[in-house]
Amino acid sequence: MERLTFPVSPLHHSARRAVGCSYSRNAAGFGRRLGFVVPETRYARSGDVAIAYQVAGEGPFDVVFVGALMSHVELDWSAPLTGRMLERLGSFARLIVFDKRGTGMSDRVSIAPSLEARVDDVRVVMDAAGSSRAALFGLVSGVPISLLFAATYPTRTAALALVDGFARWRWASDYPWGSHG
């Protein structure tokens, strides 16, 4: 197999390190693994919004993947970085992935949802998947959702794995690390 190097942001490098991922081009094509089957997509109701989710893998505990801003539960598995990361997480745990409201296969929304609505979406997906307690793996914009979920539902939170979170995106006088653009 030919090893490929991808020009990616520091976010992707740290996420790759967190789960020990590497990627190769093989006979099945770029970013695809032989014999891999995408899990069945199901829907959970959060108010009047349908949230798409999937359950993959088996293991002694549940992991809820609270991804970055954009996702697509059926296409993410074929993306080189995301797909391998999800496969690795599902190799040792029962993995629950979902599309945030307004993205992927979840219902569209007319206004940006509040952080509390997104936390409730995590709870609804866990309920629908039959998960009473899980470790949350928060990635980028999934970090604040995971943190608020843990604070709101401490008995349902077994652990937190937080990758590349931030307090805010834009620069401010009290937040010099933010983006100027």
Q: How far apart are CA 144 and CA 138, in angstroms?
A: 8
Question: Contact at 8 Å (CB) between 126 and 103?
Answer: no
Q: Do the Cβ atoms of 90 and 117 come closer than 8 Å?
A: no
Pair 3, 24: CB distance under 8 Å: yes
* Tens digits of pLDDT across the chain (181 residues): 333 333 333 333 333 334 333 333 332 333 344 345 789 999 999 999 999 999 999 999 999 999 998 999 999 999 999 999 999 999 999 999 999 999 999 999 999 999 999 999 999 999 999 999 999 999 999 999 999 999 999 999 999 999 998 877 788 888 888 888 6
Is residue 169 assigned to a domain?
A: no
Q: Is residue 132 part of a domain?
A: yes
131 within some domain: yes
Query: Tokens 């190097």 — which residue?
Result: 5
CATH number of the domain where residue 32 is located: 3.40.50.1820
Question: Is 176 inside any structural domain?
Answer: no
> Does the residue 173 lie in any domain?
no
Cα–Cα distance, 64 to 76 (Å, whole number): 15
Residue range of the domain that includes 105: 2-163
Q: 109: which DSSP letter? A: -
**Does some domain include residue 74?**
yes
How many folded domains does the chain comprise? Answer: 1
Quick check: pTM over 0.75? yes
